[in-house]
Amino acid sequence: MGSVEEQRADTAPGSIAHRVPDLGALELLLAVARLGSLGAAARELGITQPAASSRIRSMERQLGVALVDRSPRGSRLTDAGALVTDWAGRVVEAARAFDAGAQALRVRRDSRLRVAASMTIAEYLLPGWLLALRAGRPDTAVSLLAGNSAAVAERLLSGEADLGFVEGLTVPPGLDSAVIAHDRLIVVVAPAHPWARRRRPLPAAELASTPLILREKGSGTRQVLDTALGGLARPLIELSSTTAVKAAAVSGAGPAVLSELAVGEELAMRRLVKVPVEGVALARDLRAVWPTGHRPAGPARELLSLTRG
């Protein structure tokens, strides 16, 4: 007889997994009962007969009773084995119901993907990634919520989005992240603007003191620019999307600082002119983000993988 401590350990609520046979062993016992042969049961479950015999012996040692009488004519359950088999049937049936429920949860999770992304990523990178995702998951319904980096964080933390993308210098509290790409901000003006004819790079101090067409507070672009320059002049115009900032710059309203990703066509067609700047680096990381401790799964994990490809 074991010590008091051992007896308490054997009866501790958390120790049931050590006292109850695993599902594989229970399924094997049920197959033996149904087929009347250990060898036939082993073949049905795709294991060798020695492995099946070993599993039955291990279960008998674990329970402390003989379960199967083996003879040249086949395998017969003992009285204890018949009783355990009855219990095993109920356990396996409950496990099948559990598995069906878990599968239903996975199907529901995989049927939709809610993405929140800051403007530059939403407009210039995500469309390609989502097309690639759709090729592999045509039945997954994808919704995209575009906003600034602060809004992306709010949606993730409130459970409104499964995966987010931001452009700022820091990761908002409560989120984990992975760098998926690198980006550069550039100063652009309309061809008629005086800066378009400069022969020397624009000093960082002059850029900082000039009213610019800017995104709203909370945007990753503005955060990077403000931090790099140590402060900004009062905005010339404050707009809520990259497209709106770009359109205002093209119209000649004033200079703007935009992602290089956003202005390729305008630069190629000379609707905008890039203005070199000296004394400041305007590089930034683009990041995928998700709530801390909740690693992306299902379609969110696949989308994250596509961004790194």
Three-state SS sequence of 74-109: EEEECHHHHHHHHHHHHHHHHHHHHHHHHHHHHHHH
Can you tell me the distance from the alpha carbon of 307 to that of 288, in angstroms, rounded to the nearest whole number? 9
With the C-alpha atoms ordered 227, 228, 233, 239, is the resulting torsion angle positive or negative? negative
**What is the pLDDT at residue 18?**
77
Per DSSP, 85 falls in state H
DSSP strands (E only) in 19-162: 68-71, 74-77, 112-118, 141-147
In this structure, the strands spanning 273-275 and 68-71 are: unpaired
Local confidence pLDDT in tens for the 309 residues of the chain:
444 444 444 444 556 777 888 899 999 999 999 998 888 999 999 999 999 999 999 999 989 899 998 877 777 889 999 999 999 989 988 888 888 777 766 666 566 899 999 988 998 999 999 999 999 888 888 889 998 888 999 999 999 999 999 987 888 899 999 999 999 999 999 999 999 999 999 999 999 999 999 998 888 889 899 999 999 999 999 998 899 999 999 999 999 999 999 999 999 999 999 999 999 989 899 999 999 999 998 899 999 999 986
Count of residues in the chain: 309
Backbone region of residue 74 per phi and psi (left: phi > 0; alpha: psi in -120 to 50; beta: other values):
left
Residue 160, pLDDT score: 92
pLDDT at position 257, please?
Answer: 96
Answer yes or no: are the C-beta atoms of 180 and 117 closer than 8 Å.
no
pLDDT value of residue 13? 52
H-only helix segments in 147-292: 149-157, 204-209, 220-229, 242-250, 264-268
Q: Token match 């115009």: residue?
A: 237
pLDDT at 309: 61
In angstroms, the CA 106 to CA 90 distance is: 24
What's the rounded Cα separation, in Å, for the pair 266 and 245?
Answer: 13
Are 263 and 186 contacting, i.e. CB atoms less than 8 angstroms apart? yes
- CA-CA distance, 233 to 252, in Å (whole number)? 19
Beta bridge partners of 166: 287
Tokens at 101, concatenated: 């429920």
Residue 299's nearest CA partner among 21, 113, 43 is 113
